[in-house]
Structure 1
Amino acid sequence: MNVIALKQKISESEKITINLGLIDLGQIDLLVQEGFYSNRTDLIRTAIRNQLTVHAETVKQTVARKSLVLGMQTYSRAELQTLRDNGQTLHIQVLGLATIALDVSAELACATIASISVLGAFHASAAVKAALADRIH
């Protein structure tokens, strides 16, 4: 019997829900209908990216000032065990995606993670998230 191990797929995007007024929605639909955008999502993504470009310098300065990790950061069981063995704790500050490996126990996470601040998405097992709930800001 062949067993194929599949890696957990990490989504490069998160689904969000927004509420728009009917006039805004109608204007979006008009632009889509006229061929400026392929669909509503295309317009919304473009608008968000344009605003992020406008504020790029502010984001860059804030990331530096707050010492945030920018992008994707994964914390493995081995890394956390090393921290525990050295009597150290971790303050996670990420702008993007922070992931705690699925093989990290709730006990190990509690022993090594002092605080979590994520602007974006935080992935961890349900047990780890529950154990760290009071440390997530």
Structure 2
Amino acid sequence: MGSVSQIRDRHPDSEKLTLNLGFVDLGRIDLLVQEGFYSNRSDFIRTAIRRQLDSHGGVVERSIERHSMELGLRDISRAELEQARDAGEVLHIKVVGLARISPDVTPELARATIGAITVLGTLQAPADIKKALADRIG
């Protein structure tokens, strides 16, 4: 049998943001929604953000390359950290997107193997791991 995850154990694939808009801008968005250009306010905002990111795509790609960053999802497993520890390596992790540290990683293993972790996006890790790495999270 394959593994089955309960819904409450699943991590969201997006992050909720809150922003303030002027009344006129909000009214203009509502007008576009009412006219059927967008299904709702969130659809408009997501579309606008994607267009801006696309227009700056080359800059983003060059910056990721220049800073030696990984783009997307980066899972950091206990096995990977144990392998680094056994090889005497210290990892410097840089991610644009989502970095997840496995729940079975101990704070001691994380401190022994992660020299620095920079995440432009979201870092998902158990609270004790975040606390152990607090001085290394940038």
1:109 aligns with 2:110: yes
Counterpart amino acid of 1:97?
L
Q: Deviations over 1:57-113 (max 9, x none)?
A: 001111111110111111110110111112111001001111110100111101110
Corresponding residue of 1:95: 96
Instruction: Report the secondary structure of 2:128's partner residue.
Output: helix
List runs of 5+ in structure 1 lacking aligned partners. none
TM-score (norm 1): 0.93
Q: Deviations over 1:13-71 (max 9, x none)?
A: 11111111111111111111111110000000000000011000001111111110111
Stretches of 4+ moved more than 4 A in 1?
A: none
Cα distance in 1 for partners of 2:28, 2:105 equals 48
Instruction: Report the secondary structure of 1:74's partner residue.
Output: strand
Q: Percent identity?
A: 56
1:22 aligns with 2:20: no
Which aligned pairs between 1:51-90 and structure 2 lie closer than 5 A? 51-90=52-91
The root-mean-square deviation of aligned C-alpha atoms, in Å, is 1.3
TM-score (norm 2): 0.92
List runs of 5+ in structure 2 lacking aligned partners. none
Corresponding residue of 1:6: 5
Cα distance in 1 for partners of 2:125, 2:98 equals 11
Corresponding residue of 1:31: 32
Aligned residues: 134
Cα distance in 1 for partners of 2:84, 2:38 equals 49
Cα distance in 2 for partners of 1:126, 1:132 equals 10
